[in-house]
Structure 1
Amino acid sequence: MLSRPRLALIHATRVAIDPIEKAAKELWPEAETISILEEGLSVDRAVTTDLTKELSERILGLAHYAELAKSDGVLFTCSAFGCAIEAAANQSDIPVMKPNEAMFDAAFEYGDRVAMIYTFEPAARGMEQEFQEASASRGRSATLVSYFTAAALEAKRDGDEDTHDRLVAETAATIENADVILLAQFSMASAAPLARTKTAIPVLTSPDAAITEMRQRIKAVGRS
């Protein structure tokens, strides 16, 4: 075994890498993180209505690769592959997490009226289903209203982070009657500070919640 816990971060887009690596460095500096990037996943997911068997098998393969690389836990950072990540978790001997499950738990602490901003269209339906399942499993009657921010992801990919953050913050400013706002994708974390200046509603991001939860899960199985 390694002297430090090793966390594998699996990405479908490179814009998710910096936010989660920053969160890991700040919240779990003792851990060693390894990033695995497979950009074809997001390219192929963007042109399919449903999560295909072939895409699911690729997710399983990546989780298996991370386990072979002696990882103590696996965190996927793309929100559009929930069912496949669940299957990978069921087949793994180490913790495997979806990107947003920890953020959903954090959201329930604020109330049952939840708003979610997203920038990658294929992610929405799966996340909405996961949210409802999480709510039901906890005996809650939470509702989720989703808001799509067009052009933000394209700006982020082009290196225009200011435009990305401004567009997301503008969407946050329009939201009313919510107890909490979720920024759906890891790549959106940079927009949180500006969004918080545009609304009095709490704004949550997924990287911090995910690292905190993964650290607890790995500790629970004897690694720290």
Structure 2
Amino acid sequence: MIPKTLGLIHTSATLIPVFQQLCKQYLPKTSLFNIVDDSLVKNIAARGGELTPSISKRVADYVASAEDSGADYILVTCSSIGAAVEAAANITSVPVLRVDQPMADLAVREGERVGVIATLQTTLQPTADLVQRRAALAGKEILLNTRLCEGAFEALMSGDAAKHDELVTQALYQLTEEVDVILLAQASMARVVDTLKNEGKNVPILASPPHAIRYIANVV
């Protein structure tokens, strides 16, 4: 059953309009509300990429708050806190989805050589771990190729979007020669995908937001 109320938990307010537009397209009759805490990823980065028990507890508290606020389905839109999301789902009475799971399942079906690309190490490893676990669950052996676009995130945060796009495009272009499918660990990288398509690259490049919302609309 398509949820009547969808609670979205973000670590960046920039993703709110992205998901609002997707929900308008695929879940037009579903009510939405957002919970945002951009300190979560900052705290993880400050601890060398470690998802500490205290951070995991905060994620669980936000999930519980979303349930208390009336959500009958909860989507957490940050891959860096994916392990905490899965833990919270086990103690929540409504369905809880980490945003990259539908994308990971699709990638496993698409090919044996899977590429994962990110601009933050704190996002790269959790996404790669998820892909490996979803492949094992599907009984499929894959060859995983991960790529960190060093400097791209810092460029974007400093306002140099062109530099960010250039670094991500270079990494994507290289990966298309080595894998069957590519996952974008962060939604902010999706903006450069059309550049590669225009250059004739046919390797599927997957971004998590549309696949997550379509999953909720079509599978739930």
TM-score between both structures, scaled by the size of structure 1: 0.88
- Partners of 2:186 and 2:99 lie apart in 1 by 8
| Larger mean Cα displacement after TM superposition, 107-116 or 21-30 | 21-30
Query: Corresponding residue for 1:89?
Result: 89
Q: How many aligned residue pairs are there? A: 215
- Partners of 2:38 and 2:194 lie apart in 1 by 27
Q: Offset at 1:25? A: 2.2
RMSD of aligned alpha carbons: 1.9
Shift of the 38–8 alpha-carbon distance from structure 1 to 2, 3 Å rule, reads same
Q: Which runs of 5+ in 1 are unaligned?
A: none
Q: Which protein, 1 or 2, shows the higher relative CO under an 8 Å CA cutoff with sep ≥ 6?
A: 1
Shift of the 167–182 alpha-carbon distance from structure 1 to 2, 3 Å rule, reads same
- Partners of 2:55 and 2:182 lie apart in 1 by 29
Contact 1:20 1:186 in 2 (8 A): no
Contact 2:119 2:153 in 1 (8 A): yes
Query: Corresponding residue for 2:12?
Result: 13
Query: Corresponding residue for 1:178?
Result: 179
Query: Corresponding residue for 1:167?
Result: 167
| Larger mean Cα displacement after TM superposition, 71-80 or 184-193 | 184-193
- Partners of 2:157 and 2:29 lie apart in 1 by 30
Query: Corresponding residue for 2:202?
Result: 200
- Partners of 2:166 and 2:64 lie apart in 1 by 38
Q: Offset at 1:12? A: 1.0
Superposition map of 1:185-224 within 5 A? 185-198=186-199, 199-216=201-218, 220=220
Query: Corresponding residue for 1:135?
Result: 135
- Partners of 2:28 and 2:154 lie apart in 1 by 31
Q: Which runs of 5+ in 2 are unaligned?
A: none
Query: Corresponding residue for 2:42?
Result: 43
Question: What are the superposed Cα offsets for residues 148-193 of structure 1, whole Å, 9 maximum, x if unpaired?
Answer: 1123223333454444333212211111221111111122222322
